[in-house]
Amino acid sequence: IKSILIDHISKHGDLNVTSQRLIEEIKSLRLATETPSTATISAINHSILRNTINEHAFLAATGALAYWKMSHSKFREIVPRIVEYYLVHQFAIRLGMHLRAHFRLLGAEPTNRTDPAEHIDLDSLLGEDPVVARNRAEWQANVTALYGILDREISK
């Protein structure tokens, strides 16, 4: 196309300054052809690849967010049920074993019920775990001591 334009302008014979500038502009001009050059194809492929990578990254991020939301909601629903089941199940097992031992339902004959060892200790069954109670008492003592120190420092 460039050569046709240049030939058509050159046919008139007299090339004035304007015609020469026009020919120079046509020579320096980049016209889009019907078949793209290798550089154009590479640029197009790079652009498509960049868009594809961005789309894949976006899809991966949204997929990860959706999976996190689903797992968080499942965790929030299931964990309390599991803890509740475990606590109730463990309590039922401990109470059942204690009652079977107390009433001698495991095969032995009942003995004297006035024996102090035979009384059901509900505090141990229904109460706080001794280790937890000891830790709680320790923490409460520490907090009380800190309150005392703060009160003395504030009153100075």
Using 50, 70 and 90 to split pLDDT, how confident is the model at 125? low
Task: Say if CB 5 and CB 24 are below 8 A apart.
Answer: no
Q: What is the C-alpha to C-alpha distance for residues 98 and 92, in angstroms, rounded to an integer?
A: 10
Show Cβ contacts of residue 36 under 8 Å, excluding neighbours closer than 6 positions.
Answer: 44
pTM higher than 0.75? no
Residue-range domain boundaries for the chain: 1-32, 127-156
55 — pLDDT class (breaks 50, 70, 90): confident
Residue tagged 């015609």 (tokens): 19
pLDDT, tens only, 2-27: 677 777 777 766 677 777 777 777 77
Cβ contact 123:98 at 8 Å = no
Query: 79 — phi, psi (to 5°)?
Result: -60, -45
